[in-house]
Chain A
Amino acid sequence: MLARAVPVVLLVSAAVYLTLALRLPFGAAERPGAGFYPVIVAVFAIVVALAATASAFRSAAGAAVVELDAASRRRVVITVLALVAFCLVLPWVGYPAAAFGFVAVVLRSLGARWTAALVTGALRSAGSYGLFAVLLDVPLPRGPW
């Protein structure tokens, strides 16, 4: 199912991309407009997405997709949620707190003890903030404190 859905989604995306590209000035071969190159890319994308879709539907069972067991799925879901949460709270709570929370939660989900997860999270957060923000002057959000 998933093996067939992916090329279909890409095909639809390519069609939408072509629609948007056609709204841009096309120009001519000797004076290409802003839409010239995107239209060519869109046509190429539609052709290959069509071929991929046809290939996916032609094969009887579709490509083999790995079924994750419950524990693996749980770990992946927690990691994805933690990553999304990290991105969302980063501007509000700052990098040190967000990184601490992210590392601690992911390590815990991977099977580490709470103590180890919290200590590693604190060290990792402080270490990376020190390296990037202090030593390399990369502007990272500090948060309200």
Chain B
Amino acid sequence: MGPLEGLAYGFSVALLPSNLFACFVGVLVGTIVGVLPGIGPVGAMALLLPSTFAMHPATALIMLAGIYYGAMYGGSTTSILVNVPGEAGSVVTLLDGYQMTKKGRAGAALTIAAVGSFVAGTVGVVGIMLAAGWLADTAVRFGPPEYFAITLGGIPLLSRLSGGSILNAFVMVALGLALGTVGMDSISALRRFTFGSVQLAQGIELVPVIMGVYGVAEVLLLAEEGIAKTQVASVKLRELIPTAAEWRRSTMPIARGSVVGFLTGLVPGPAAVLSTFISYTLEKKVSKTPEKFGTGMIEGVAGPEAANNGATAGAMVPLLSLGIPFSPATAILLGALVVHGLQPGPLMISQRPEVFWGFVASMYIGNLMLLILNLPLVGVFVTALAATRPRDARADSLSRRRLQPEQKLPGPVGARHLRRVRLCLAKAPRGPVADGGGAGAGPDDGEDAASGALPDARQRRRSRGAPAVGDDPDPRRRRALRAAARPASAGEKAHEADCPVAFGDATAEGPLSSAQPPVC
């Protein structure tokens, strides 16, 4: 079955009422999850995994994947309107997105983000069609030695999913492998490590593990941070239309972001996050006015927003064609397929074409649904946004800090590069968020930059824990990042005077005035 023939078949599957409904539910939940900072797409997918038990495998995959890429759309809303990323892939968007809000261009930023996401999602699906089929055709010729090599190669790849300490990740890999040996041996039928329990003879099921690792962890993190109301900038429907200049300036960043995102998704690691940093840095490099980035440049919204959606599509290629998940979210998708008795890999495309092509076609439909959901209905999500937000004081201070990627563009893309993406944290004002800010509000209003530096000790802590983003889906990384962001000790403060890095230190109370994003 060729790509076009397969796509036509896929649409016949995806357009079934049940699959359309599942797609809608998935992208809606994904958008809500992206908008609300409390829970990430991985946690939401883990929590909703049991609800797919009664579904057809294709329907389940369509719904869960919808949550994943839907969250990328929704995450930009909070970044742009509240200066708080809804999920990790939207951290970079707040640098320029929120500055646009303060200039009264929130609507344009939201539209460009949604259109960029749509274009990148669509480009990504074309990439899946071409790359996954080709990879699967190659992989069909694999025999036991090749599969053994893939499995062996997959173990170090797994260790890079966390983005943190490799050693700790290997310990977790060992723990996972050990848990996998519990139950009946598939060759000799001997019970291993069951301690006489009949239930354990079946082994430890994937769903409880996923629920515990991701779902319960999210609940505990929410309990730690608490809930508080927040103030959100309002956006009127007529304000959603970007100007001709904004469209023109966004075209190439969206194109570049789509490609960068898709390629980053093909590489192991937290691609959705990494791709945004790469895209932002790339846009800054090619811009004639790089110094204006961080003051409300539409390129700084268009590129990263396209990139994170391209990355979600790219991450599907190794999952669907080789059966290897390169990120926690795709690992849950893999788990969902396994729960339904499917084994993602090269044979799935030929043996279960309705699942593969139905899923690919559903991504086209899902992206279209998301475009509709995220533009005319942005007001609804803004209202939802006003309901909840983490209230923990340290989380609050962290989420309001400016994040800026390192100016150097990483070379070959890989998970290890995530740790190279240094973040400069700028102290931000604590006042409530202004409504729009008015057209006259300039990027430098109220700026009170002060010299300072990210203390060496804090940088060391950060590189050890490898937290690269402020609102990471992994609670451990979020916690480590909060630890890194705690007030510096006297010894650490002594370093600040010597360090050449400058970052903003706005102290104004009341409506958020600006703090020039730091130059790293």
CB proximity of B223 to chain A, nearest CB, Å: 4
Contact A44 B223 (CB under 8 A): no
User: Total interface residues on B, using CB and 8 Å?
Assistant: 41
CB of A10 within 8 A of CB of B222, answer no
B198 to chain A, nearest CB (A): 16
CB of A37 within 8 A of CB of B181, answer yes
The answer to whether B484 touches A24, judged by C-beta atoms less than 8 angstroms apart, is: no
- Interface residues as binary, B110-141 with A (CB distance below 8 Å gives 1, 0 otherwise): 00000000000000000000000000000000
| A76:B220 contact, CB within 8 angstroms | yes
Identify which of B248-256, B340-348, B423-431, B475-483 touches chain A.
B475-483
A23 to B185, CA, bound (A): 14
Expressed in whole angstroms, the Cα–Cα distance for A52 and B173 within the complex equals 13
Which of B54, B192, B216 is A138 in contact with, Cβ under 8 Å?
B54
Which residues does chain A contribute within 8 Å of B245, judged by CB atoms?
none
Question: Inside 8 A of B187's CB, which chain A residues have their CB?
Answer: 32, 34
Given A51-B167, A76-B223, A110-B227; A24-B480 close (CB under 8 Å) = no
- With A64-B480, A76-B223: A41-B51 Cβ-Cβ less than 8 Å: no
Does B495 touch A at the CB level, under 8 Å?
no
Contact of B174 among A44, A132, A138 (CB under 8 A): A44
Which of B50, B171, B392 lies at the interface centre, i.e. has the most chain A CB atoms within 10 A of its CB? B171
Question: Are A66 and B482 closer than 8 Å at their CB atoms?
Answer: yes
User: Is the CB of B219 closer than 8 A to any CB of chain A?
Assistant: yes
Report the stretch among A67-75, A93-101, A118-126 that lies at the interface: A67-75
The answer to whether residues A132 and B177 also contact, given A24-B192, A72-B225 and a CB cut-off of 8 A, is no
**How far does the Cβ of A40 sit from chain B's closest Cβ, in whole Å?**
9
Q: Which residue of B lies closest to A51 (CB)?
A: B167
Contact A20 B193 (CB under 8 A): yes
Chain B residues near A109: list those with CB within 8 A. 223
Chain A residues near B393 (CB-CB < 8 A):
69
Give B226-244 as 1s and 0s: 1 = Cβ < 8 Å from A's Cβ atoms: 1100000000000000000
- Enumerate A123-145 residues with CB–CB distance to B below 8 Å: 131-132, 136-138
Write the chain A residue with the least CB distance to B169: A48
| Contact assessment for B219 and A79 in the assembled complex, using a CB-CB cutoff below 8 Å | yes
**What residues on A are CB-neighbors of B465 within 8 Å?**
63-64
**Shortest beta-carbon distance from A6 to chain B in Å:** 9
Q: Are B483's CB and A45's CB within 8 A?
A: no
User: Once the chains bind, are B192 and A34 in contact (CB under 8 Å)?
Assistant: yes
Q: Give residues 162-194 of B contacting A (CB, 8 Å).
A: 165, 167-168, 170-171, 173-175, 177-178, 181, 185, 187-188, 190, 192-193
Contacts of B53 in A (CB 8 A): 136, 138
* Known A7-B171, A38-B178, A52-B171; contact A78-B190, beta-carbon cutoff 8 A: no
Question: A25 touching B226 by the CB < 8 A rule?
Answer: no
Interface residues of A in 25-49 (CB under 8 A from B): 25, 32-35, 37-38, 41-42, 44-45, 48-49
Judge whether B498 is part of the interface by a CB distance below 8 angstroms.
Answer: no
Contacts of B445-486 to chain A: CB distance below 8 A: 461, 464-465, 479-480, 482-484, 486
The closest CB in chain B to the CB of A79 belongs to B223
Given known A-B contacts A17-B178, A136-B53, A66 and B479 have beta carbons under 8 A apart: yes
Q: Is B205's beta carbon under 8 Å from chain A?
A: no
Determine whether B224 belongs to the interface, using a CB cutoff of 8 Å to chain A: yes
Q: Are B226 and A68 in contact, CB atoms less than 8 angstroms apart?
A: no
Q: Is A14 an interface residue (CB 8 A)?
A: yes
CB <8 Å contact, A75 and B224:
yes
Instruction: Report how far A105 CA is from B243 CA in the complex, Å.
Output: 50
Closest chain B residue to A32 by CB distance? B187
Residue of B nearest to A62 (CB): B464
Chain B residues in 8 Å Cβ range of A45 = 171, 174-175, 177-178
Q: How far is the CA of A65 from the CA of B54 in the complex (A)?
A: 42
Contact across chains for B178 and A34 when beta carbons are under 8 A apart:
no
A55, A76, A106, A138: most-surrounded residue (chain B CB, <10 A):
A76
Complex CA–CA separation, A125 to B193 (angstroms): 36
CB atoms of B222 and A110 under 8 A apart: yes
A80 in the interface, Cβ–Cβ < 8 Å?
yes
Cross-interface CB contact of A34 among B185, B223, B226, B464, cutoff 8 Å: B185
Asked if residues B50 and A138 are in contact (CB atoms below 8 Å), the reply is yes
Q: How far is the CB of B389 from chain A (nearest CB, A)?
A: 13
| Interchain CB contact under 8 A, A44 and B51 | no
Bound-state Cα–Cα, A131 to B393, Å? 37
Q: Which residues of B contact A49 (CB under 8 A)?
A: 171, 174
| Given A44-B177, A55-B167, A65-B483, A136:B51 Cβ within 8 A | yes
**Docked pose: A51 CA to B174 CA in angstroms:** 13
**How far, in whole Å, are A77 and B391 apart by their CA atoms in the complex?**
18
A25 in contact with B392 given A45-B178, A52-B167, A83-B216 (CB within 8 Å): no
A72-B226 contact in complex given A42-B178, A45-B178, A131-B51, C-beta closer than 8 Å: yes
Report how far A106 CA is from B484 CA in the complex, Å. Answer: 29
| Residues of the B chain whose Cβ atoms lie less than 8 Å from the Cβ of A35 | 192
Cα(A65)–Cα(B482), bound, Å: 10
* A32→B187 CA distance, assembly (Å): 9
B220 touches A71 (CB 8 A): no
B223/A52 in contact, CB under 8 A:
no
- Kindly identify, within residues 40 to 68 of chain B, every residue whose CB is under 8 Å from any CB belonging to chain A: 50-51, 53-54
Name the CB-closest residue of B to A112: B227
Q: List 29 A-B contacts (CB under 8 A).
A: A7-B171, A10-B171, A17-B193, A21-B181, A34-B187, A34-B188, A35-B192, A38-B181, A38-B193, A45-B174, A45-B175, A45-B178, A49-B171, A49-B174, A52-B170, A52-B171, A55-B165, A55-B167, A64-B465, A66-B483, A72-B224, A72-B226, A72-B392, A75-B226, A76-B220, A106-B223, A110-B223, A136-B54, A138-B50
**A41-B174, A55-B165 provided; 12 other pairs, C-beta below 8 A?**
A17-B178, A20-B193, A34-B188, A51-B170, A64-B483, A66-B482, A66-B483, A72-B392, A106-B219, A137-B54, A138-B50, A138-B54
Q: What 7 A-B pairs come out closest when comparing CB atoms?
A: A45-B174, A79-B223, A34-B185, A34-B190, A64-B483, A136-B54, A48-B170
